[in-house]
Amino acid sequence: MSSFPKTIFHVDMDAFFVSVEELYDPSLKGKAVVVGGQRHERGVVSAASYEARKFGVHSAMPLRTAAKLCSHAIFVDGHPDRYRDYSEKVYGVLNSFSPQVEMASIDEAYLDMTGTDRLHGPPLRAAHALHRKMKLETQLNCSIGIGISRLIAKVSSAKAKPNGVLWVIPGQESKFLAPLDVRDIPGVGAVTEKNLHGLGIYRVGDLARFDDSFLEQQFGKWGLALAGKARGEDAGGWFDSAVGEDTQAKSISHEHTYNEDTADPQQLESTLMRLSEMVGRRLREAGVFARTIQLKLRYKDFSTITRAHTLADPTQIDTEIFAQVRTLFLNNWRKGAEVRLLGVHASSFDNVPNQANLLDGDRRQRWQQALSAADHLRDRFGDSSVTLASGMNAGFRERTHENPAGLPGKHKRHD
DNA sequence: TCTGGGGTCCTAGGACCC
DNA sequence: TCTGGGGTCCTAGGACCC
């Protein structure tokens, strides 16, 4: 710990997806709204309005359960593009307050406000000014937590909700945390909570009474981090990093759950092709090459397996990703078994391809160019406008209804 | 009426190397 | 020939977060 305390803000947008949808359709305001899909769809709640929450609806709950709890709720499909646009507006406001901004997800951020007193005044005044400006420029409510660590800021923003500001005065961390439920500590989920309850630990204050060594013995490395958290410290892992320290993604993945389970090999393979294309495209956008390709396969009964393979030559090419994931699929799928979900996951990134084989590298480079051109067309005309015929006759696609612009399907052949 | 999609981090065992 | 110990890479699974 440094000699003088930091001032960290955690800014969390209130019911973000719902609030953005309300800006597009003001008639939703004040009503029970569920974002994430229609009431009978296979899926879960992405966000619920405070009105819907009164009926017990919350994020991650199956849509059908939400419909049962709150039958009068309005169900709205999610619009990721809208949320990204508003997230950028949010970032703009935050960045005008501190150069040290780190978006922790699409709707929350950490700001390091240490040493900004001369510019913005004391923490509470700065927070209220930020709160006002956010509303003025985005029309959205947020809650702001302030503390000497990420952890304290995060926990206090949750306690400030909705639409509030909460400052934990330096030195008061333990007093603030002690009465809180252990579940309020970020990282403590259902499993850890149950384990802690088994030890008679219900509140953060109970946790703080145990020795670090005891918690380490009980929970390993995680126990040690937990002990620190109970004192309000950013102990361990990501929490320890400086705000704004930029971190490039470590993995890129896409997955798809079928509306109805299927055992049709053609449909399954075409889904893998589509997911491989999505992953390949993201890799090219990020300018990275993946060494490890992983398949995720979930059966009708929800049992799930993952199978991975690490390549000698890292790739960002759709058909190479597909070829690998297809092999993994064919080697591991119980033939005839109905599949609920398929996923394609890329990791172990390199910034340059391994071009041990120069001739091969040349061929790959031409592929790369063709793919970039296709990405560009998709940007302009939509995802369904371009299909690259693959060299391995594996490029058949799922039948698709998406062609919103009504454009003729353009098919570009690589040679 | 079951259980999305996109991530991060951790553990544990086996292979392999010195 | 009855066997070590550390380090790293790889794979599979799981907890957790929004």
Does the pLDDT of residue A237 top 60, yes or no? yes
Is residue A274 assigned to a domain?
yes
Residue A364 pLDDT? 67
A187 touches strand B (CB under 7 A): no
Nucleotide nearest to A196 (CA to C1'): C15
| Interatomic distance A322 CA / C9 C1' (Å) | 24
pLDDT mean over A71-84: 96
Q: Are residues A217 and A344 in the same domain?
A: no
Distances (CA, A) of A46 to A23, A59, A80, A82, A86: 17, 5, 11, 14, 16
Same-domain pairing of A269 and A223: no
Phi-psi region of A390 (alpha: psi -120 to 50; beta: other; left: phi over 0): beta
**A60 nearest nt, CA–C1':** B4
For residue A406, what pLDDT is reported?
30
CATH number at residue A377: 3.30.1490.100
| Start-to-end CA span in chain A (Å) | 59
Asked if the model's pLDDT at residue A378 lies above 80, the reply is no
Type of residue numbered A409: G
What is the torsion angle, in degrees rounded to the nearest 10, for the CA atoms of residue A94, residue A98, residue A100 and residue A101? -10
Rounded to whole angstroms, the Cα distance separating A253 from A262 reads 21
Asked if residue A331 keeps its beta carbon closer than 7 A to nucleic acid strand C, the reply is: no
Does pLDDT of A184 surpass 60? yes
Strands A74-76 and A33-35: parallel
What's the whole-number mean pLDDT along residues A334-352? 95
A112 inside domain:
no
Cβ atoms A274, A361 nearer than 8 A: no
Tell me if the bond preceding A162 is cis, omega within 30° of 0.
yes
> Is residue A312 domain-shared with residue A276, that is, in the same domain?
yes
Residues A269 and A386 in one domain: yes
A67 CA vs B3 C1’ separation (Å): 15
Place of tokens 């589509």: A274
**Core vs surface per residue A60-89: b (16+ CB within 10 A) or e:** ebebbebbebbeebbbbebeeeebeebbee
Does residue A195 sit in the same domain as residue A302?
no
Q: How many CB atoms lie within 10 A of CB A124?
A: 14
Within-domain flag for A153:
no
When divided into structural domains, chain A yields a total of 2
A272 belongs to a structural domain: yes
pLDDT at A352: 83
Residue span of the structural domain in which A201 resides:
178-230
Residue A221's Cβ-count burial label (10 Å; 0-12, 13-18, 19+) is exposed
- Say which amino acid occupies A141: N
Active site residue A108: yes
- Domain shared by A212 and A326, yes or no: no
Is residue A411 over pLDDT 50?
no
Asked whether residue A33 carries a pLDDT value surpassing 80, the answer given is yes
Give, as ranges, the nucleotides of chain B with any atom within 7 Å of a protein CB. Answer: 1-12
Asked if residue A50 belongs to a domain, the reply is no
Span CA (A255) to C1' (C11), Å: 20
Q: Tell me, in Å, how far CA of A220 is from C1' of B11?
A: 10
We report the CATH number of the domain holding residue A194 as 1.10.150.20
Q: Are both A400 and A262 inside the same structural domain? A: yes
Q: Is the pLDDT of residue A68 over 60?
A: yes
Asked whether residue A305 falls in the same domain as residue A222, the answer is no
What is the Cα–Cα distance from A390 to A413, expressed in whole angstroms? 8
Selected residue with higher pLDDT from A411 and A31: A31
Name the catalytic one among A21, A51, A102, A108. A108
Boundary-marking domain end, from A161, A195, A230: A230
pLDDT of res. A217: 86
DSSP character string of A224-275: HHHHHHHTT---SGGGGSPTT-----SEEEEEEEEEEEE--HHHHHHHHHHH
* Shared domain check, A260 and A209: no
- Give me the A residues in range 251-280 that sit within 7 A (CB) of strand C: none
Same domain, A260 and A350: yes
- Looking at the structure, tell me whether residues A296 and A264 fall in a common domain: yes
Contact A218, A207 (CB under 8 A): no
Is the pLDDT at A392 greater than 80? The verdict is no
Q: What is the pLDDT of residues A196-220, one digit of tens each?
A: 999 999 999 999 999 998 998 888 8
**A187 CB burial (10 A radius; 0-12, 13-18, 19+):** middle
